[in-house]
Amino acid sequence: MLEVGTKAPDFTLPDKDGNQVSLSDFLGKKVVLYFYPRDNTAGCTREAQAFAAANEDFRALNTVVIGVSKDSEASHRKFAEKYDLPFLLLSDPELTVLQAYEVWQEKKLYGKVSMGVVRSTYLIDEAGIILKAMPKVKPDTNAGELLTFLRGE
């Protein structure tokens, strides 16, 4: 994971509609940058739904939610439409941002080793500095933990 207190790497990736979105577009706002393995899987769907349910709470705290995976723009479009997701989903099939944020890692599942996205979240402040780095987050509690942190509770 990248260190808290360091500058978050800027990037530009396409959203579900092919629009180019850069992290620097959100200077002046906090950004929840969450990385997830795959659209339409059980854990990723629960995590996305939790962020969707809390989206207005994040907005009230001047915070934008952005999800990133290696899925295609078309996959993101279907996922966002199916679950009415009100936040950005960015596509990183080249793994550029996944690697820059150190979330593309070796994983073991049932004794098999492969490379994949480790579900992780960064909270980035208004100046682009990492405020919080959360490795191996739980899909059901990630959004709530971030809201608690943002509210200073």
Cα separation, 11 vs 76, in Å, equals 18
Structure-token pair, residue 52: 């969707």
The reply to whether 44 belongs to the active site is: yes
- CA of 50: how far to CAs of 4, 13, 45, 80, 132, in Å? 24, 23, 9, 13, 19
Instruction: With H, G, I as helix, E, B as strand and everything else as coil, classify residue 50.
Output: helix
Q: Are 62 and 29 in contact (CB under 8 A)?
A: yes
Catalytic-labelled residue, pool 44, 48, 64, 146: 44
Q: How many CB atoms lie within 10 A of CB 43?
A: 14
Question: Phi and psi of 125, rounded to 5°?
Answer: -80, 180
- Of residues 119, 117, 127, 122, the one with CA closest to residue 149: 122
Q: Which residues are identified as catalytic? A: 44
